[in-house]
Amino acid sequence: MHVAEKGQGPLILFIHGFPLLWYSWRHQITALASLGYRAVAPDLRGYGDTDAPAEVPSYTCLHLVGDVIALLDAVAADQEKVFVVGHDWGALIAWYLCLFRPDRVKALVNLSVVFNPRNPNMKPLQVFKAVYGDDYYICRFQEPGEIEAEFAQMGTETVLKEFLTYRNPGPLFLPKGKGFGHPPDAQIALPSWLSEEDVKYYASKYEKAGFTGGINYYRNIELNWELLAPWTGAQIKVPVKFIEVIVMEGVGHFINEEKPDEVNKHIYNFFQKF
């Protein structure tokens, strides 16, 4: 597992989402390290410079939380509990971590993805298809190799720019052969918080590792639903701050990169209580 870290003190584990890397936490790593924390941000299983098993079932919630526990055992053996910050899929993994191993989490700050208790009567993919249809991006991600082939035709940098600049508050649809709905040669303007250099860093890692690892997380949504049966009705018991309870004007999904100073302040102020 590839890990970026900086600073000394109580450990804060930063868990990234899709289609990101440890790099999406660069502002938080620097800021929180300067405030007396040890910031640790891995590339998750299947991403960047971390190992990427080939088998789809190797990306369940149990595997992902297992990776986190193994990482904490390796880098924070002296700390019984650590602080955790998650975004997107990283937020989901953080929720799972708090369900499975609350004994390892001092407090959690999560961004962009709420905790959805397991509904034993509704399989998630059936819900997505019924509500949004087959072109909904999570549905399109299910067939191994299919969306990867379309992304390959579009080009890695274009795919990353499309995801990172997506601002529509509604569901993301990816109709077959139509990509994100833009012409293949369309220019994608980058926002002020995202530079060409940032995109090139992401692209350099995705050119090497591909998108399959990250997409495999989505391919385990149904299996996760089955594996989570023992936790039906379970509640998150660790202290949590969910950032979107705070209203941030003029930002989209990638809020830790879009408004790093404000997000850093929320993280610091919350963790100072413990």
- Positions marked active-site: 88, 218, 253
DSSP state at residue 193: T
CA distance 142 to 219: 5
164, two tokens: 């990172």
Please list, in sequence order, all residues whose beta carbon lies within 8 angstroms of the beta carbon of residue 112, skipping any fewer than 6 positions away. Answer: 17, 87, 88, 91, 243, 244, 253, 255
CA distance 52 to 110: 25
* CB of 20 closer than 8 Å to CB of 51: no
30, two tokens: 């620097």
Kindly calculate the radius of gyration of the chain based on its CA atoms and give it in whole angstroms: 18
- Phi (first) and psi of residue 108, to 5 degrees: -130, 135
